[in-house]
A and B are shown apart, each in its own frame.
Chain A
């Protein structure tokens, strides 16, 4: 099973700032098998990025992803108020599917 470690656990930032989140895998992951999700309180997760760097349908271009091997990053170019949420990375492809523990973005 691939273990995904996300860092930091919590980040306090202000609207307008840029943020980069980290997701490190316990073993090498195919780039096409890494996704990022956003979850707001009381809502289901929403797919933002798949294949490490491809934006899902309707996702603004201020969201981006990159990385390969065991190190992946997710960035938001300029934080909007609605971006404050929890972000999860996920490895898919072969079983088992695993998620990181999430990074919480808080308004400073």
Chain B
């Protein structure tokens, strides 16, 4: 059974970048997509973007366009989320989650529900 193992907690200065990893353990994610979802303290869930590792197709939420980069290393079954120009409002728990996907047409994809989640990585942005 696939588990998603995330990297450890990070403390960053405002203006810097953070990279969080998500490794599929007990299987591969070659046939799945990986999304990144964050949760600020006491707040709800916010989708940041995702990647289909087999084709390196990425999709970002408009709010994070230009500031987030999601990549995947198929050889190690690991996905990465890098967030730049950090500010205090980026303090949150960052989750990766697995989802199915289907190509509808050239460049158009259907993403399914998130059925496997990592335990989360706490990122604290503080001067």
Contact = CB atoms under 8 A, between A and B. Distances in A.
A42 to B, nearest CB: 9
Contact of B47 (A39, A99, A102): A99
| Interface class of chain B by DSSP | strand
Contacts of A1: 62
Contact of B113 (A35, A94, A100): A35
A46 B35 CA distance: 15
Interface in B37-68: 37, 44-47, 50, 59, 61-62
Interface in B10-57: 35, 37, 44-47, 50
Contact of A88 (B45, B50, B61): B45
B95 A44 contact: yes
Given A92-B113, A94-B108, A99-B45, 15 more contacts: A35-B113, A44-B119, A45-B37, A45-B45, A45-B97, A47-B115, A57-B115, A90-B113, A90-B114, A92-B111, A95-B111, A96-B47, A96-B62, A98-B47, A102-B44
